[in-house]
Chains A and B, each alone.
Chain A
Amino acid sequence: MTETEGLIAGLFLLFALFVYTFWPENSFASQKEKTRLDFLLERKEQLYENLRDLNFEYRAGKYPEEDFKVQRAALEHETAQLLAEIDVLQG
């Protein structure tokens, strides 16, 4: 490829990329602001996962009974608080 051919190819690429970048398009993606409720719903999934992990590890024999009860109570308390707030926000 000669330098002239290279320049022509480069100019063609310039034109193509310019058109691609600025071609008017009406269906671009936008997103609503994330709300406190969205965050709480995400957090709820995480807390459920933590509870599932706790249950599983208890059944696998990693937690003595008394440790398990304390840990589960703490996690459930946190989850209950979170669900209560979700209920309030969801009306």
Chain B
Amino acid sequence: MAAFGSLCLLLALALAAYNLLAGALALRLLATGQTARISPERLADTARRAGIAGFWAVTGAAFALVWSVFTNDFSITYILEHSNRALPIPYKFAALWSGQEGSLLLWAWLLGIYGFVLRLRHKTDVKLYAYAGTILAGVQVFFLLVLNFAAPPFSLLKGAIPDDGNGLNPLLQYPEMVIHPPLLYLGYVGFSVPFAFALGALMMRYPGEKWIRITRTWTMVTWLFLTCGIFLGMHWAYAVLGWGGYWGWDPVENASFMPWLTGTAFLHSVMMQERKGMMKSWNVWLIFSTFLLTLLGTLLTRAGLVSSVHAFAQSSIGNWFWVFMVIVVTVCIFTYVLQRSHLETEHQLESLVSRESSFLFNNLVLLTACFVILWGTLYPILSEFVEGSKVTVGAPFYNNVAVPIGLFLLFLTGVGPLLPWRATSLKAVKRNFVLPVVALWATVAVCLAAGANPWKGGTFSTGSFYALVGFSLAAAVLTAILSEFLRGAAVIMRQTGRNLFAALWLLVRRNTRRYGGYLVHIGVVVVVVGLCGAAFNRNTESELGLHSRMSVGPYTLECTGFTQDSNDNYDSDYAVLNVYKDGKKAFQITPEKRVYHASGQPQTMVTIHSTPEWDLYVVYEGTNPDTGQPIIKAFLNPLVGWIWFGLLIIVMGTAVALMPSLSPATAAVRVPLAQATPLTQAIKGGD
């Protein structure tokens, strides 16, 4: 199968190169009106079909690698290093992205899928799609060059073939790892599509903003994949790494977060361009930056530039990525300089207190956060380059900067929808902000009464203070969003006589994009509430002999025994713990420690008992070599479940936003030419 896979990769490279060259030539001929032996339209169509054919070739290569994993073909070095015979079937799939070569193949395959769909839908706007398809082919050529010449996944083992492989990294043998990396990659790779459309639209001086409408679905789906990928990564870190947290500002976590920040900024600011023809240059550079950050993320994850628990594959393909990034930046700058007159704004910002300005602030805050994280992530590399010693940046740096920025962003999430477009009068501010402000101060009072007091015990707790601000802002934002729903529903109730729920349903269906977006904001609020819970985390560690007890929060843990298990893949030690709450036995948990046969590596399997109030998180850390006693570490992490619940709301909101809105009810009214207000009548039935 190695020969078939290698041939497929070579074929895919040839097809992508043809797509790029023939596509570019055809577009050049069309732009200049020159003639050639073959018509430019026909040439462009062969380029498009080469792109589709290239997808099948990359699919063939991906299939060959998966087939080799399942048939235990250890003559292929990659399979030997990332799989073994006893590896459970789901993790055999995970072997595809557990190493550098496989994950680059996954990148190329996902790009092939996106390109396949894009090229099939080319009739939406033939010329724009031809530009986008050609640019995607350029990206694909780079990844296929790397796969063919720098990191070939089908390279064969020299010498005798071992009977069994080295196995998959134990950290990756967790259910989420079967879906987290593909989702993250779908997000990373997906941003190539809006990038290609934006660059293509700029190259061809696309008249108007329709390209944004065309790419909206792509951008939102991509953003959703990246969001889900990041959250699943958080959950994986929480459930596998055993340190009780879900986000450690690890460079690879940061690498996935940065394009998310710029992508989120793009999703917001692009609305300004669509509605008012503003911020065109800004948006173009936002999507260019997002794409470059996805490349940087792949580089950090795959080239071993930074030390990370997530950097599972390390090698020296960094130079390839740097060269490609320089090429991309050069093309972007060149195109921008050449076509910048096309990006002149159609309207100016009229007031600092308006919906437009809230979008602008939202963008500035998101970009500030991105820059801070980029600085912290690259600082070890820069310090090593400048001073010769690697200085790492720890979580406190990020927390000190990112938490206030995040809270300000939450504030803008609430303020934005309440501000009218163009300008806001003081009267409008008073009218729209009363309820959220009341909710904010009521929550402050409730939190202080409940004991979330930052000045408790005479010392100031920064964590509690941020949590207090976070809870209060969350309440204000939630009130603001709910009031948006209720006000809209009230209009429909007055107009149609429907009840509240029917009116809400119709409201959402009439403008899925806006109200889906509001649902996403509610999800973000719920996530923030969950994150604020971290200020009140508690933990304790104890050597726990048979029938001895330890307490954390309202729970008491009693050790009732230890047991062992074994299968083809690993040996396990379990601690059996009865958990008591309020003096009564509530449930039993069995934290586990495994040792994998193939790699000989140990791995803790955390037990998490989750409730809306908190998570009881228990780790069996092993045995104290001096006393022979098992060591148990227990955490009580408040509100963690809210984070995962918030993600579900975000997914639901994005799904709503992706649905088409009902067409507005319009009534054409013929009026005499002399009347000055015909437009008002024409649009009256539209809401």
Residue in chain B with minimal CB distance to A31: B126
A6-26 Cβ-contact flags toward B at 8 Å (1 or 0): 110111011001101110010
Chain B residues, CB < 8 A from A36: 207
Q: Which of B3, B49, B52, B488 contacts A7 (CB 8 A)?
A: B3
Say yes or no: is B407 at the interface (Cβ < 8 Å to chain A). Answer: no
B1-16 Cβ-contact flags toward A at 8 Å (1 or 0): 1111101100100010
Instruction: Report the minimum CB–CB distance from A55 to chain B (whole Å).
Output: 5
Once the chains are docked, how many angstroms separate the CA of A34 from the CA of B423?
Answer: 34
Say yes or no: is B190 at the interface (Cβ < 8 Å to chain A). Answer: no
A10-B4, A28-B45, A56-B488 known; A83+B679 contact, CB < 8 A: yes
Within 8 A of A (CB), among B663-687: 664, 677, 679-680, 682-684, 686-687
Say yes or no: is B420 at the interface (Cβ < 8 Å to chain A). Answer: yes
Say yes or no: is B37 at the interface (Cβ < 8 Å to chain A). Answer: no
Within 8 A of B (CB), among A61-77: 61-64, 66-67, 71-72, 74, 76
Chain A residues, CB < 8 A from B7: 6-7, 10-11, 13-14
Q: Judging by beta carbons under 8 Å apart, are B684 and A1 in contact?
A: no
Once the chains are docked, how many angstroms separate the CA of A71 from the CA of B56?
Answer: 53
Chain B residues, CB < 8 A from A35: 207
A/B pair count, beta carbons within 8 Å:
146
Once the chains are docked, how many angstroms separate the CA of A32 from the CA of B423?
Answer: 40
A21-B15, A22-B46 known; A51+B686 contact, CB < 8 A: yes
Give the one of B3, B209, B275 with max A CB within 10 A.
B3
Say yes or no: is A85 at the interface (Cβ < 8 Å to chain B). Answer: no
Secondary structure dominating the interface of B = helix
Residue in chain A with minimal CB distance to B677: A76
A34-B206, A36-B207 known; A17+B687 contact, CB < 8 A: no
Chain A residues, CB < 8 A from B422: 71, 74
A10-B8, A61-B487, A67-B420 known; A17+B2 contact, CB < 8 A: no
Which A residues form the contact surface with B (CB < 8 A)? 1, 3, 6-7, 9-11, 13-14, 17-18, 20-22, 25, 28-31, 34-36, 38-39, 42-43, 46, 48-57, 59-64, 66-67, 71-72, 74, 76, 79-80, 83
User: Which 9 interchain pairs have the tightest Cβ spacing?
Assistant: A10-B7, A6-B4, A28-B45, A31-B126, A60-B487, A17-B53, A56-B687, A52-B686, A39-B208
Can you give 25 A-B contacts (C-beta < 8 A)? A1-B1, A1-B4, A3-B2, A3-B3, A6-B1, A13-B7, A18-B53, A21-B18, A29-B41, A29-B122, A30-B41, A30-B126, A39-B207, A50-B275, A50-B276, A52-B687, A55-B683, A56-B491, A62-B431, A62-B487, A66-B425, A67-B425, A67-B427, A71-B422, A76-B679
Which B residues form the contact surface with A (CB < 8 A)? 1-5, 7-8, 11, 15, 18, 41-42, 44-46, 49-50, 52-53, 56-57, 60, 64, 67, 122-123, 125-127, 206-210, 274-276, 418, 420-425, 427-428, 431-432, 487-488, 490-491, 494, 664, 677, 679-680, 682-684, 686-687
